[in-house]
Structure 1
């Protein structure tokens, strides 16, 4: 079989294009993974506005796992975004950041009718959301 450089270049270009398309399509079409929050203290059904688990080592560990399973595909490993979604290391820490975070977590983000982030509150629950927030604060950068 004779090597055809043009054919090889065309196949390589097609594969690269396919990879780029896959990343874009993968952004919004994902299945949330369950988070075991049984080790965390109960916080009730009413949505809290401030993180009840701040500084809790168990919540940090659960949040790290939950983030990796449900958030990293868009927001990046270790919360370092590749540009598709916001880099969550720069979220404001403390109560002020909690307000923005929980709003997005509960309701998602929609612009011009396009879903940029699905609402995760009803899917993963409040305990998982605050655990993720707890872990994110350990990754904070100015």
Structure 2
């Protein structure tokens, strides 16, 4: 009888462990995912000051497409699906579509966000190219137009 209780206890603990690990993994892979920027104007190593793909740039539509995929792979888990924040992280659609908004965006993607030693957002520029990050910004701006 004692052996059955012991085995039941082990089975319950294993089931709890599987359940919890499934919940943790359900959040998704938090490692930034690579972005294919083929077709976008190459920007080089030096960061540009303003979004180079903003309308009326000829690459605007492609940048929105690339940015949508990149955003949903790398940003949506915190900033919300379709760039609509659920309140956990800032709603990026509220950034102005001008130099000031670009400056803030560039600062944050290059430096990340750390408070009291906790990393709230990694330095995305360590993982994604300037082209990918500006494409994400272009996608966010396209979503802003729909607000």
Q: Same fold (TM over 0.5)?
A: yes
1:73 corresponds in structure 2 to 77
Residues 1:49 and 2:53 are matched in the alignment = no
For 1:43 and 1:97, the matched residues in 2 are separated by: 19
In structure 2, the partner of 1:90 is 94
Following superposition, which runs of at least 4 residues in structure 1 exceed 2 angstroms of deviation? none
Tell which structure's C-alpha radius of gyration is larger.
Answer: 2
Cα shift at 1:22 = 4.5
Gaps of 5+ in 2: 1-15
Per the normalisation by structure 2, the TM-score is 0.75
For normalisation by structure 1, the TM-score amounts to 0.78
Partner residue, 2:10: none
Please report how far the alpha carbon of residue 60 of structure 1 lies from its aligned counterpart in structure 2 after TM superposition.
0.9
What number of residue pairs does the alignment pair up? Answer: 122
Q: What is the root-mean-square deviation in Å for CA atoms of aligned residues?
A: 2.3
Unpaired segments of 5 or more residues in structure 1? 1-13
1:37 aligns with 2:37: yes
